[in-house]
Amino acid sequence: MDKKVTMSAAAEIRKLTITAMAAAGYGHIGGSMSICDTLAVLYTDILNIDPTDCSKRDRDWFVLSKGHCGPALYAALSYRGYFDKELLKTLNSNGTNLPSHCDRLKTAGVDLSTGSLGQGLSLAVGAAMGNRLQRIDSTVFVMVGDGELQEGQNWEAIQFIAHWQLDNIVLLVDYNRRQLDGFTEDICKPFDLREKFTAFGLDAAEVGGHDVSEIYDALLAAKSSKKPSVVILNTEKGHGCYFSETKEFNHYMVISAEMAASAIKDIDARLRDEISA
């Protein structure tokens, strides 16, 4: 991994996400910003994919269970070359191929439709088991939110993963400690996530969710592991976009063109400082 290239990719994905939301006038900014660094690592350094062949048999899969953060995934897909970046400006408009939640029938590069929280992991498990039965050399990466883990269906899926020793699936947790209506600690305490996953039989790693080097090392190790793996990403909701970082309620925000332009300038300035540091 070239760290500077991946950091630049993360900044570009953030900018594209904000641009798309500004075109729509609103969006799930908080949870989209918190996953941009992981998306950059996946789509720049980890995934075995081909933007010219979305159905490639041995491709790696990425499933965004927290499908309301689809705009960040769309930004990553456009960055990787699945479709023209201008399409991002049609986000959630009539007739768009970029609906507010991910739809595999509409968007090139989206492997599974998601948005009903708590169900995406089960879908990903089905894909991983299917690939195993067909002897396809592929890894399914699935991203869930920490608030989403309050859904019991997730833990049924995790028990299934452990029972069948599905080493071709990697679970990613966006652990930003906030959900729609507050902090997870106050609404339904998650306790020690790493201990919980370990108790269910998974190899669990915990890393800085905005450090591309840590993310890369953890994802590479998980993809190579012979055991089911989970990577807990310690993130900040709204990270990298100054107006969502400083807002107490940043799950969903109205976003103007002026706000977007200012945030993009700030992202460019931060990237220059980080690369020169």
d(CA 103, CA 232) in angstroms, rounded, equals 25
Q: What integer pLDDT is reported at residue 55 of this predicted model?
A: 94
Task: Quick: pLDDT tens for 74-103.
Answer: 999 999 999 999 999 999 999 999 999 999
Residue showing tokens 């309620």 = 249
Q: What integer pLDDT is reported at residue 248 of this predicted model?
A: 87
Alpha helices in the chain (DSSP H): 3-24, 29-33, 36-41, 70-80, 120-133, 152-163, 184-187, 193-199, 212-224, 242-245, 257-276
Residue 23: is it exposed, middle or buried by C-beta count within 10 angstroms (0-12/13-18/19+)? middle
Q: Residue 19's pLDDT band (boundaries 50, 70, 90)?
A: very high
Structural tokens at position 60: 């790696």
Q: Please state the rounded mean pLDDT for residues 102-119.
A: 96
Q: Are 116 and 145 in contact (CB under 8 A)?
A: no
Task: Quick: pLDDT tens for 143-201.
Answer: 999 999 999 999 999 999 999 999 999 999 999 999 999 999 999 999 999 999 999 99
Q: Are 233 and 193 in contact (CB under 8 A)?
A: no
Q: Residue 37's pLDDT band (boundaries 50, 70, 90)?
A: very high
Residue 207 in 3-state DSSP?
strand
Q: What integer pLDDT is reported at residue 277 of this predicted model?
A: 79
Q: Residue 57's pLDDT band (boundaries 50, 70, 90)?
A: very high
Greatest C-alpha distance within the chain = 51
User: Cα–chain-centroid distance for residue 25?
Assistant: 22
- DSSP state for residue 266 in the 8-state scheme: H
Give the CA dihedral 77, 52, 131, 167, nearest 10 degrees.
-50
The closest alpha carbon to 71, from 109, 29, 43, belongs to 29
Q: What integer pLDDT is reported at residue 99 of this predicted model?
A: 96
d(CA 121, CA 127) in angstroms, rounded, equals 10
Q: What integer pLDDT is reported at residue 148 of this predicted model?
A: 97
- DSSP state for residue 239 in the 8-state scheme: T
Q: Domains in the chain, start-ordered, CATH in brackets?
A: 3-276 (3.40.50.970)
pTM over 0.75? The answer is: yes
Task: Quick: pLDDT tens for 207-264.
Answer: 999 999 999 999 999 999 999 999 999 999 999 999 999 898 999 999 999 999 999 9
The closest alpha carbon to 174, from 16, 274, 28, belongs to 28
Q: What integer pLDDT is reported at residue 106 of this predicted model?
A: 97
Residue 24 in 3-state DSSP?
helix
